[in-house]
């Protein structure tokens, strides 16, 4: 007999034999009869299995406890109980694996997120993490679907990089040298010439620079890969290892870039609303009562577009007490971004034209000599969800800026070749995948939207 997934079985007609396999969420009942809630990961909903205890081996039935893995063959009937339309009257039960009730950590419901982080290897078995992981999958699928439909190519940029010019954060080194006995040069610094790549290599902080190489030949590309930042920021919005989606488009200016960022994020949210309704309903009930309303609001309303300079004026005029100072030339902190979005505009906001000194060397310089064509997309509860820009395509300006910022042009010869040969206006941005999942799920800590979070002093699983 063919095993079926609980999701399909729950949506099907009664009056037939079925075989399901999964993990017991709860077992209730009395001496004679058992009601087993079975979950197989295909949906947030459990299927109820009704078993006449006398018809089964007593020893085997003892092992059917919360957390155990079983298979059930039986007849699918209309359910008497409320909350489900069909249930299974068990004809055969196969016990695959027991879970000692004295030791299984998920015996009870309602564990804190902090506790579940300590048992991240088991938290997939909770309703909340099941829902988050299914939504995460759906969002990854929707990302590829969106770009494929628009004719973008998925470009796999390297994870190990020899360039450290991105400057987006502290980097992790990659080496096969003996850490206890690092070769040193005359200057006392580590000599990487005998290292695996013959030079100092690191884990990438962004696929953008390589993405630009692809875009200036293929037209429109996107990357979707892991990125690594050794920043020691213990916040609910930062991970040391996170996934980023970085589209890069030839012949796009900053306005085209904003249009894409807005269309893309609203598409993803609509996709979740249309395709993840059971999981979102659960999260709306259990995690965040405003979730669905917020998602619909963002999907249905245009984003506000204004400049960094205008935003700073708004912040300066507000009578808020800021933890971090506000002023033209200073970077905006999450508290400022969230004020603009949640209290002032009450919409997602795209800020543009940032001071050049707080942005990366590759952003296109405006004629005012002070600002660059960068853009950040700010979301409620999250703050910055996207950072991007139109890129500087003029060789001389780019070289001048690199020199000012102390970025060695000779190491970046391959990047500069795009400006040397057939340069063209182009733009792109990076969407932090986990920040998107935070927004879509209503979860409050980024550690709870990635299967295995990497944060300072935490890489156990
Ligand atoms: P922030 O100011 O929030 O630290 P950033 O300006 O350093 O972010 P970018 O370099 O612009 O970030 O990266 C693009 C996107 O990647 C951000 O908009 C954000 O969504 C995401 N992101 C950046 N750093 C992290 C991190 N440490 N963990 C998770 N996502 C991140
Ligand atoms: Mn940014």
pLDDT of residue 102: 95
Q: Where are the alpha helices (DSSP H) in 276-428?
A: 277-286, 291-300, 308-317, 334-338, 395-404, 413-420
Residue 176 Cα to ligand 2 midpoint, Å, equals 32
Specify whether 293 is located in the same domain as 144: yes
Report yes or no: 453 and 446 within 8 Å, Cβ to Cβ: yes
Could you tell me the distance, in angstroms and rounded to a whole number, from the CA of residue 337 to the centre of ligand 2? 12
- Going by their DSSP bridges, the two strands 383-390 and 371-379 should be labelled as antiparallel
Is 109 domain-assigned?
no
> Does ligand 1 lie within 6 Å of residue 435's CB atom?
yes
Residue 176 lies in a domain: no
Which SS3 state, helix, strand or coil, does residue 92 take?
strand
Indicate whether residue 384 lines ligand 1 (CB < 6 A).
yes
Q: What residue's CA is closest to ligand 1, atom 24?
A: 238
Q: How far apart (Å, rounded) are the C-alpha atoms in residues 92 and 90?
A: 6
- Mean pLDDT, contiguous 10-residue spans, the chain (461 residues): 97 96 97 97 97 98 98 95 88 98 91 93 96 98 98 98 72 96 94 95 95 98 97 91 98 98 98 98 97 97 98 96 96 96 97 96 97 98 97 97 92 95 98 98 97 94 83
Per-residue pLDDT, 84 = 78
For ligand 2, a single-atom ion, the residues with CB < 5 A are: 387
Say yes or no: CB of residue 447 within 6 Å of ligand 1.
no
Ligand 1 contact via 40 beta carbon (within 6 Å): no
| Domain CATH code at residue 339 | 3.30.930.10
What are the DSSP calls for 351-366, one per residue? EEEEEGGGS-TTBPBP
Nearest CA to ligand 1 atom 11: 387
Say if residue 325 is in the same domain as residue 238.
Answer: yes
Residues 61 and 144 in one domain: no
In a 13 Å sphere around the CA of 108, the CA atoms on its Cβ side amount to: 5
Helix or strand (DSSP H, E) at 140: helix 127-149
Domain extent for 53: 6-97
For residue 111 the two structure tokens come to 């564990």
Point out which residues pair with 72 in neighbouring strands: 20, 93
Contact 368, 308 (CB under 8 A): no
CB distance 166 to ligand 1 below 6 Å: no
| Chain CA centroid to CA 210, Å | 21
Residue 218 maps to a domain: yes
- Residue 334 is predicted with a pLDDT of 94
Report the C-alpha gap between 454 and 446 in whole angstroms: 10
Is there a single domain that holds both residue 406 and residue 258? yes
Are residues 91 and 128 located together in one domain of the fold?
no
Asked if residue 238 and residue 298 are part of one domain, the reply reads: yes
Whether 196 is in a domain gets the answer: no
219: left (phi over 0), alpha (psi -120 to 50) or beta: left
Q: What are residue 357's phi and psi, to 5 degrees?
A: -70, -15
Tell me, in angstroms, the distance from the centre of ligand 1 to residue 341's CA: 17
Instruction: Please give the distance, rounded to the nearest whole angstrom, from the Cα atom of residue 277 to the centre of ligand 2.
Output: 31
Q: Which of 224, 229, 432, 435 to mutate to test the pocket of ligand 1 (most atoms within 8 A of CB)?
A: 432
Domain shared by 148 and 76, yes or no: no
- Do residue 128 and residue 93 come from a single domain? no
* 20 phi and psi angles, rounded to 5 deg: -125, 155
Residue 404 lies in a domain: yes
Exposed e or buried b per residue across 336-361, where buried means at least 16 C-beta atoms within 10 angstroms of its C-beta: bbbbbbeebbebbbbbbbbbbeebbb
**Residue 72, φ and ψ in degrees, nearest 5:** -135, 125
Helix, strand, or coil here: 303? coil
Residues 6+ apart with CB under 8 A from 322: 315, 333, 335, 336
Q: Is the CB of 200 under 6 A from ligand 1?
A: no
CA angle 50, 18, 79 (to 5 degrees): 40
In a domain, 211, yes or no: yes
The closest of 383, 384, 364 to 374, measured between CA atoms, is 364
C-alpha 249 – ligand 1 centre gap (Å): 20
Q: Are residues 128 and 259 in the same domain?
A: yes
What's 80's domain CATH number?
Answer: 2.40.50.140
Q: What is the pLDDT of residue 198?
A: 96
Q: Based on the domain organization, do 89 and 135 belong to the same domain?
A: no
Same domain, 132 and 41: no
Same-domain pairing of 301 and 220:
yes
Tokens representing 55 are: 């018809």
Domain boundary (97, 116, 142) is at 97
In a domain, 102, yes or no: no
CA of 432 to the centre of ligand 1 (A): 6
CB distance 284 to 296 below 8 Å: no
Q: How many helices and strands in the chain, by DSSP H and E?
A: 13, 16
* 231: its two tokens: 């920043």
Measuring from atom 26 of ligand 1, which residue has the nearest CA? 238
Number of folded domains that form the chain = 2
Asked if residue 107 is part of any domain, the answer here is no
Reading the block at residue 179, the tokens are: 């850490």
Using the structure block, give the residue that is written with the tokens 């930062």.
238
């Amino acid at each position: 007999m063919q095993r079926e997934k609980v999701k399909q079985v729950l949506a099907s007609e009664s009056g037939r034999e079925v075989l399901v396999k999964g993990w017991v969420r709860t077992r209730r009942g009395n001496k004679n009869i058992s009601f087993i809630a079975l979950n197989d990961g295909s949906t947030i909903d459990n299927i109820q299995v009704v078993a006449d205890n006398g018809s089964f081996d007593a020893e085997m039935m003892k092992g059917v406890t919360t957390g155990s893995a079983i298979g059930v063959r039986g007849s699918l009937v209309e359910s008497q109980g409320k909350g489900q339309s069909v249930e299974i009257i068990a004809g055969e039960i196969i016990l695959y694996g027991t879970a000692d009730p004295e030791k299984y950590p998920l015996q009870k419901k309602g564990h804190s997120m902090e506790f579940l982080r300590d048992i991240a290897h088991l938290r997939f078995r909770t309703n909340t993490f099941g829902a988050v992981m299914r939504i995460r999958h759906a969002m990854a699928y929707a990302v590829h679907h969106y770009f494929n439909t628009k004719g973008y190519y998925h470009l796999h940029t390297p994870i190990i990089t020899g360039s450290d010019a991105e400057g987006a954060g502290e980097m992790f080194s990659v080496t096969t040298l003996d850490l206890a006995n690092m070769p040193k040069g005359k200057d006392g610094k580590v000599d990487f010439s005998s290292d695996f790549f013959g030079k100092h290599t690191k884990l990438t902080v962004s696929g953008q620079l390589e993405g630009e190489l692809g875009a200036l030949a293929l037209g429109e590309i996107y990357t979707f890969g892991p990125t690594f930042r050794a920043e020691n920021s213990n916040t609910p919005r930062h991970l040391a290892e996170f996934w980023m989606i970085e589209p890069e488009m030839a012949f796009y200016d900053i306005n085209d870039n904003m249009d894409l960022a807005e269309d893309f994020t609203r598409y993803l949210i609509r996709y979740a609303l249309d395709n993840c309704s059971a999981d979102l309903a659960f999260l709306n009930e259990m995690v965040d009562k405003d979730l669905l309303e917020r998602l619909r609001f963002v999907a249905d309303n245009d984003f506000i577009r204004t400049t960094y300079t205008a935003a700073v004026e708004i912040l300066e005029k507000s009578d808020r007490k800021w933890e971090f100072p506000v002023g033209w030339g200073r970077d905006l902190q999450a508290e400022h971004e969230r004020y603009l979005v949640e209290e002032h505009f009450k919409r997602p906001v795209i800020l543009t034209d940032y001071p050049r000194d707080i942005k990366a060397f590759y952003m296109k310089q405006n004629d005012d000599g002070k600002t660059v064509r960068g853009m950040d997309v700010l979301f409620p509860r999250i703050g910055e969800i996207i950072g991007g820009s139109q890129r500087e395509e003029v060789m001389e300006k780019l070289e001048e800026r690199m020199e000012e910022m102390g970025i060695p042009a000779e190491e970046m010869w391959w990047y500069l070749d795009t400006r040397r040969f057939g340069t063209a206006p182009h733009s792109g941005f990076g969407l932090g995948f986990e920040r998107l999942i935070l927004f879509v799920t209503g979860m409050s800590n980024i550690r709870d939207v990635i299967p295995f979070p990497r944060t300072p002093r935490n890489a156990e699983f």
